[in-house]
Amino acid sequence: MSARPRRRPARPTGAHPLDNPAWSALTGTQRDHGEVVGTVARYHPEVSAFGAFAGVPAEGDWAAMADLVGPGGVVITTGCTSTPPGGWTVEYDGTGVQLTGEALVGAAPPVPPDGLSVVPLGADDAADMLDLVAETRPGPFARRTWELGGYVGIRRGGRLAAMAGERMRPAGWAEISAVATDPDHRRRGLGELLVRVVAAGIVARGEVPMLHAAADNTGALRLYGAMGFTERRRTRFVAARAPGGPADAAPGLSAAPQG
């Protein structure tokens, strides 16, 4: 991997943090969870497959990203992205919906029904979280994604039945992600309860909740709308593999990007 000189990241002026959420997060609150080299950035691969460009990438930016992720490395970009140049392999290219939860600011924290406990999730729960993600495919999730914070879950009969947590934290905002419910425990409101719990935690520290969903996931969009989330914009997600390297799956790309 060729070395490129490190220089101060470019910061687009006048841009809203949610227009380029991963860049805002990786050059701000979550800088310790990844690395930034010039106009490209990425999360540590065992934390998340997401990366970012400082602006809409030209061919040279994609070359810098290839250096950063290494031969055969996979990166998911959104907000400021484009079709990768020749040599890259596009593994996913789709449209998502970005929703914001200003209406949840000031809402009373949710109270779980009797007999239902919401528990924090961390390192000891990582294997169970990966198993649930593999079964439900809510979007990209890696072995150390839980380190991004805010993960909570519900266990039934000793098994992890549902979970949700946080991913990107653009300035002033936090993304709710990895909302997953075991098929045997759906239609009981567990997912909605956990989204509200995570949102309450975000609001308590002075940030505003937001999230992404696949544009064709009408059920999720309907639920989030009923909870008070509103569509801010449509956004493109591109998952691409850098030139060279093995063709096996990269860490963190456990499911097609759905936000």
Tens of pLDDT, residues 82-101: 999 999 999 999 999 999 99
Q: Given pLDDT bands bounded at 50, 70 and 90, which one contains residue 15? A: confident
Is the pLDDT confidence value at 104 over 70?
A: yes
Q: Do 89 and 21 reside in the same domain of the chain?
A: yes
Q: What percent of the chain has pLDDT over 90?
A: 85
Q: Given pLDDT bands bounded at 50, 70 and 90, which one contains residue 14? A: low
Q: Do 53 and 160 reside in the same domain of the chain?
A: no
Is residue 134 within 8 A of residue 102, CB to CB? The reply is no
Mean pLDDT, range 128-155, rounded to an integer: 96
Residue 251 in domain: no
Is residue 152 within 8 A of residue 198, CB to CB? The reply is yes
Is the pLDDT confidence value at 254 over 90?
A: no
Tens of pLDDT, residues 201-243: 999 999 999 999 999 999 999 999 999 999 999 999 999 999 9
Distance CA(162)–CA(190), nearest Å, equals 7
Distance CA(171)–CA(176), nearest Å, equals 14
Q: What is residue 115's predicted lDDT score, i.e. its pLDDT?
A: 83
Residue 77 in domain: yes
Number of domains in the chain: 2
Residue 10 in domain: no
Q: Given pLDDT bands bounded at 50, 70 and 90, which one contains residue 247? A: low
Is the pLDDT confidence value at 246 over 80?
A: no
Q: Do 159 and 136 reside in the same domain of the chain?
A: yes
Residue 160 in domain: yes
Using CB atoms within 10 Å of the CB of residue 127, give its burial: 0 to 12 exposed, 13 to 18 middle, 19+ buried: exposed
Residue 46 in domain: yes
SS3 label, residue 127: helix
Is the pLDDT confidence value at 249 over 60?
A: no
Residue 43 in domain: yes
Q: Do 168 and 104 reside in the same domain of the chain?
A: yes
Q: Do 124 and 215 reside in the same domain of the chain?
A: yes
Q: Do 158 and 51 reside in the same domain of the chain?
A: no
Is the pLDDT confidence value at 147 over 80?
A: yes
Of 80, 71, 75, give the one whose Cα is nearest residue 39: 80
Q: What is residue 8's predicted lDDT score, i.e. its pLDDT?
A: 40
What count of other Cβ atoms lies within 10 Å of the Cβ of residue 115?
5
Q: Do 131 and 209 reside in the same domain of the chain?
A: yes
Total count of residues recorded for the chain? 259
Helix, strand, coil % over all residues of the chain, rounded to 5:
30, 30, 45
Alpha carbon distances (Å) from 171 to 24, 56, 210, 214 = 6, 19, 12, 23
Is the pLDDT confidence value at 144 over 90?
A: yes
Range of the domain at 79: 17-96+234-241
Of 198, 159, 158, give the one whose Cα is nearest residue 178: 198
- Tell me which DSSP letter residue 50 carries: B
Contacts of 215 (CB under 8 A, 6+ apart): 94, 95, 96, 97, 234
Its pTM stands at: 0.89
Q: Do 121 and 225 reside in the same domain of the chain?
A: yes
Tens of pLDDT, residues 164-192: 999 999 999 999 999 999 999 999 999 99
Is residue 250 within 8 A of residue 242, CB to CB? The reply is no
Q: Do 205 and 170 reside in the same domain of the chain?
A: yes
Mean pLDDT, range 8-28, rounded to an integer: 80
Q: What's the mean per-residue pLDDT of the chain?
A: 91
Residue 247 in domain: no
Is residue 200 within 8 A of residue 109, CB to CB? The reply is yes
CATH of the domain at 77: 3.40.630.30
Task: Count CA atoms closer than 13 A to 221's CA, side-chain side.
Answer: 16
Least confident span in 26-35, 106-115, 191-200: 106-115
Q: Do 175 and 130 reside in the same domain of the chain?
A: yes
Residue 196 in domain: yes
Q: Do 32 and 107 reside in the same domain of the chain?
A: no
Q: Do 118 and 132 reside in the same domain of the chain?
A: yes
